Amino acid sequence: MDQYSHQNEMHTSFMENRAASVIGRGDILKAVDDFVLNKDSDTPFVILGGPGLGKSSIMARVAEVYHQKVLRGELPLLVLKVVQNMRGFR
């Protein structure tokens, strides 16, 4: 297995394991969804919280949901939009 396939496998495993631990959190997941789908937004979305409060798990769940949407052809450029917003690009 080449290094990229191995890295992809590790990221996928992390996403699936962390996403499975998210129970509830519908308000936060909806806020992220609203942000991602808002084409007029030019501000970053930040999730703050102390250690162990689920920030990584929430983002893993978001990644899992949108990964599935991209695979179904529902959101082909989603990742690009999120990265652009996080880096301040337009």
Q: In the chain, what are the domain boundaries?
A: 3-87
Nearest C-alpha neighbor of 37 from the set 88, 90, 89, 74: 74
How far is 67 from 74, CA to CA, in rounded Å? 10
pTM: 0.67
pLDDT digits (tens, 9 = 90+) for 20-31: 888 888 898 899
- Asked if the model's pLDDT at residue 89 lies above 50, the reply is no
Which residue's structure tokens are 């699936």?
A: 16
Nearest C-alpha neighbor of 21 from the set 56, 67, 66, 69: 56
